[in-house]
Amino acid sequence: MPYPANHRIAVREKIIQSARRLFNRHGFDNVSLQQIMSGAGLTHGGFYNYFDSKSDLYAEVLGCFFTDPKWKNNWDGVEIDLSSSEIGAEVIRAYLSQQHFENVENSCPMVALPTDVARSGQSAKCAFENVFTAMVGMLESNMRDGATDPHERAQAIAALCVGGMVVARAISNRDQADELRKSCMIVALRLGGWDSATRTDTVADAENCAV
């Protein structure tokens, strides 16, 4: 019996999702192709029917909800509506949320994999750059009217979100990590104009996401 028309696409997506979870948890070098395929419910031998190499797969894993409409954040209690007029603030709150902090396997790869990317080839670096650029573009397009230097602010906000989460995860003291996320969130919202001057519940929202 022949496979349905979308079978190959579905299998490829299973492999990408398995690799994302494993790479996020263990790093690129510590994950084998056998582990990736097993995590997708597939046999090792079928890998090269879908990808040329592990590095080729790695570049595919470097996506996020800014670049892949099928990417699911899987962060319970966090909703991101890409059509929202407040998408900039939603992205900041989602990125620095407790749920994203704790759900390592389903992280945005910019948080989980930056060191691996720095050691990888050009294709992975380009993929990482594309995701970061997409995040900056989304933030810039949603910047509050009248914000000065919107591109510079958007770049700083994106770096604050990604870097803040990376540092928070590296801190062993959970209270300090939560305080750092909260501080980054408040400053990022302020830079984009989504602070208490324009939205009275901003600080409350930040506190709810950070604890």
3-state secondary structure 87-112: HHHHHHHHHCCHHHHHCCCCCCHHHH
Q: Is the domain of 39 the same as that of 95?
A: no
Range 32-59 average pLDDT? 91
Residue 28 lies inside a defined structural domain of this protein: yes
Q: What does the longest C-alpha to C-alpha distance in the chain come to?
A: 63
Question: What does the pLDDT read at residue 199?
Answer: 45
**Alpha-carbon gap, residue 51 to 72, rounded angstroms:** 22
Range 114-128 average pLDDT? 83
- Predicted TM-score of the model (pTM): 0.81
Structurally, how many domains does the chain consist of?
2
Residue 67 lies inside a defined structural domain of this protein: no
Question: What does the pLDDT read at residue 63?
Answer: 79
Question: What does the pLDDT read at residue 188?
Answer: 96
Q: 138 Cβ partners below 8 Å, 6+ apart? A: 66, 87, 88, 91
pLDDT tens, residue by residue, 166-200: 999 999 999 999 999 999 999 999 999 988 544 44
59 vs 21 pLDDT, higher one: 21
Residue 109 lies inside a defined structural domain of this protein: yes
Q: Is the domain of 139 the same as that of 57?
A: no
Q: Is the domain of 174 the same as that of 101?
A: yes
**Alpha-carbon gap, residue 206 to 211, rounded angstroms:** 9
Question: What does the pLDDT read at residue 2?
Answer: 58
116: domain CATH number is 1.10.357.10
Residue 82 lies inside a defined structural domain of this protein: no
pLDDT tens, residue by residue, 89-103: 999 999 999 999 999
pLDDT tens, residue by residue, 126-170: 888 988 999 999 999 988 767 789 999 999 999 999 999 999 999
* Cβ–Cβ under 8 Å, residues 124 and 114: no
Residue 196's SS3 state is: coil
Q: Is the domain of 44 the same as that of 106?
A: no
Residue 14 lies inside a defined structural domain of this protein: yes
Range 82-90 average pLDDT? 85
Domain containing 18: what range?
Answer: 7-61
**Alpha-carbon gap, residue 211 to 205, rounded angstroms:** 10
Q: Is the domain of 97 the same as that of 44?
A: no
Q: Is the domain of 12 the same as that of 92?
A: no
Question: What does the pLDDT read at residue 198?
Answer: 41
DSSP string, 103-151: --TT--HHHH-HHHHHHS-HHHHHHHHHHHHHHHHHHHHTPPTT-SSHH
Q: Is the domain of 100 the same as that of 203?
A: yes
Q: Is the domain of 20 the same as that of 91?
A: no
